[in-house]
Amino acid sequence: LKSAMQPETVRHHAAALRKLENYAPSLQICDITPEWLRVYAAYLRDKHHNNPGTIRKNMCVIRMHYYAAMRAGKVKNNPFEVYRIPQADPAVIYLTDEELNALIGLFRSDNLDDGETDVLRFFLFMCFTAMHISDARNLQIEQIHGGEIHYTRIKTRTRVDMPLSAPADKLVEHYKSGRLRGPLCRNLPTDQAFNRIIKRICKRIGINKAVSAKTARHTFATLYYKKNNGDLGTLSKLLGHTQ
């Protein structure tokens, strides 16, 4: 399935499988039982200090590969009929108006190094456009016209037409640098490095939340909902939800 996966998904699978190999280098697919899965989930929680969402993602990767082995006739028993992958209640982290304005002030202050400035600029761009980091990375200059960003979400394959606010338009002009074609945002760090840097930047001004790239999208959604009297219909379209 690798050729059909997004690069971010491939990286996630590779990381999960490396973690599994470090835990049990000689593991055979037939060794995986419901009890083994319970013990491994506890290991991820207690030794790796993974949160429930991360544990769930790791177990889902194992399940996908185990099912591939079943389809290939390598194993017959299905431990996932007995072991249920735990549901995770993901925490929705967003910034308040005050916190967002504090970040904008920091961005304008010239108190960050170039790498941090690039990360914060991209984070603010996502706050102003509600874009997921993968969609923002793939955004092309040609997709911006008529005062709007026009793109198809990678995850849901839904069409999004996002009006450009004045702050977003200003950032677009910076990124374009006179170019007419090609990727809008270039030379960005990996998702992991991005999340590490933006969390560090936020802590510098007293924002001690678990901020990540997803926080930008959640911030747009929360502030839009509050400022537009709960207009969920329009918000859903701007976020590119399927329903």
Which of 15-19, 52-56, 105-109, 194-198 has the least mean pLDDT?
A: 52-56
242: pLDDT confidence band, cut at 50, 70 and 90?
low
3-state secondary structure the chain: CHHHCCHHHHHHHHHHHHHHHHHCCCCCHHHCCHHHHHHHHHHHHHCCCCCHHHHHHHHHHHHHHHHHHHHCCCCCCCHHHCCCCCCCCCCCCCCCHHHHHHHHHHHHHCCCCHHHHHHHHHHHHHHHHCCCHHHHHHCEHHHEECCEEEEECCCCCCEEEEECCHHHHHHHHHHHCCCCCCECCCCCCCHHHHHHHHHHHHHHCCCCCCCCHHHHHHHHHHHHHHHCCCCHHHHHHHHCCCC
| pTM of the entire predicted model | 0.70
35-50 pLDDT tens trace? 999 999 999 999 888 8
99-113 pLDDT tens trace? 999 999 999 998 999
